[in-house]
Amino acid sequence: MKINKVLAQEIADKVMSVIPYKVNIMDENGLIIGSGDKKRVDTIHEGAVSAIEQGTMVTIYKPEGSSKPGVNIPIHFQNKTIGVIGISGDPRIVAPFAELVRVTAELLIDQEFLFKEKRIKEQMMEEFLYHWVFRNNEYDTAFFNNAEAIGVNLKLIRKAVILKGKLRKQPSLFAQEFTFKLNQESQLFIVPDTSDIVYRLEPLISQDSKVGIGDRHEILAKSVQEAKRAIEISENLKFAQIICDYPQLKFIDYLTNKNVAFDEIIPFYAQLDENQKGQELLETLLCFIENSGDMNAISYKLHIHRNSLAYRLQRIEILTNKNPKKFIDLFQLFTGYVLYKMKHSSS
């Protein structure tokens, strides 16, 4: 640990805020690097050189070369002399401050060292998390060693949880839980499969947020992609729920990535989207699905008479040759809608 000029001046300023005397901070060679008298910076302090050589406090009673009357006390870090702190003034008056000043300086140096050490560990963690999040291939020995060095247990099966939106405050994280900022609006939480992080997040997020949950995987990147996909599916299909669990949406994702033969239905949705009447039919179909075909609930939700609802369902059947009241037909209608919305949103 070396004392740099910024830290040296900080120590000098803090000590001088407590005692009414000029203070100098010298490095391990006796060079003044912080001072209450800026003109003395970058000059050699002979009293400091003597203090370093003798390893003890040196008192100067009369001006000697570049040294003024006062006391010079070695500063230690981990049993090594790394500098000297000097107090200018009548030695009989300033000497009683010597021990207090030395302890203050060493505490500030210890604090700076711990801060730097913490920052280095944080940077190592950030770098590791970045590689972990985006690494798709298997983890090799070097990667396991890097993880162990910063306290990450790669043997745990994990899942990714992504919050898209704002947090009122950060949730408490438990052992082996980590967080990583994906971008300005999305934060990733890397947690063991058994974690209740979603339960902890729910009270802290707004109603317009989305929480994507990936499935459990040995390779974290797979779960991260699933959590992203869960949010994407939910947003594209305008699902109301905040929590988007990929295992529950996997079927939709499968459909959108396979060449399923719904070509005759997809154009139907494209045509409906083009005019207001068509959009009414779309709204009716979605409400029919969401309310499990309960005609009273659907009529109430859409603010229309049951006869109007029956007419709309009949129109859908005429246009598609699919009866929404038949399960197989309804499945095809819903699947066609999902495919249309997912492909339309990504194009």
Q: Which pLDDT band holds residue 262 (cuts at 50, 70, 90)? A: low
- CATH code, domain carrying 278: 1.10.10.2840
Q: Number of folded domains in the chain? A: 3
**178: three-class secondary structure by DSSP:** strand
192 DSSP assignment: E
**106: three-class secondary structure by DSSP:** helix
Residue 134: inside a domain, yes or no? no
102 with 12, same domain?
yes
pLDDT score for 346 = 61
Q: What's the domain range around 227? A: 156-255
Most confident of 250-259, 297-306, 320-329, 333-342: 297-306
- CATH code, domain carrying 35: 3.30.450.20
Residue 119: inside a domain, yes or no? no
pLDDT score for 263 = 61
CB 220 within 8 A of CB 193: no
Residue 41: inside a domain, yes or no? yes
Residue 198: inside a domain, yes or no? yes
Q: Which pLDDT band holds residue 260 (cuts at 50, 70, 90)? A: very low
Give residue-wise pLDDT tens across range 71-130. 999 999 998 999 999 999 999 999 988 888 999 899 999 999 999 999 999 999 999 999
94 with 161, same domain?
no
**Which of 79, 112, 145 delimits the end of a domain?**
112
45 CB contacts (<8 Å, ≥6 apart)? 24, 26, 30, 31, 32, 66, 67, 72, 84, 86
Residue 124: inside a domain, yes or no? no
Q: Which amino acid is at 186?
A: S
What's CA 182's distance to the chain center, in Å?
7
Residue 132: inside a domain, yes or no? no
176 with 231, same domain?
yes
Alpha carbons 35 and 13: distance in angstroms, whole number: 8
16 with 66, same domain?
yes
Residue 141: inside a domain, yes or no? no
38 with 12, same domain?
yes
164 with 250, same domain?
yes
pTM value is: 0.62
Residue 154: phi, psi to the nearest 5? -75, -10
Give residue-wise pLDDT tens across range 138-151. 999 999 999 999 99
286 with 249, same domain?
no
Residue 323: inside a domain, yes or no? yes
Tokens, residue 189: 């939480």
pLDDT score for 264 = 60
231 with 286, same domain?
no
**Which of 57, 91, 112 delimits the end of a domain?**
112
Tokens, residue 184: 């300005």
Give residue-wise pLDDT tens across range 204-259. 998 899 999 999 999 999 999 999 999 999 999 888 889 999 988 887 887 777 65
Q: Which residues of 195-216 are buried (b: 16+ CB within 10 A; e: fewer)?
A: bebbebbeeebeeebbbbbbbb
Alpha carbons 241 and 171: distance in angstroms, whole number: 21
**Which of 112, 132, 166 delimits the end of a domain?**
112
285 with 332, same domain?
yes
244 with 281, same domain?
no
What is the number of other CB atoms lying within 10 angstroms of the CB of residue 97? 20
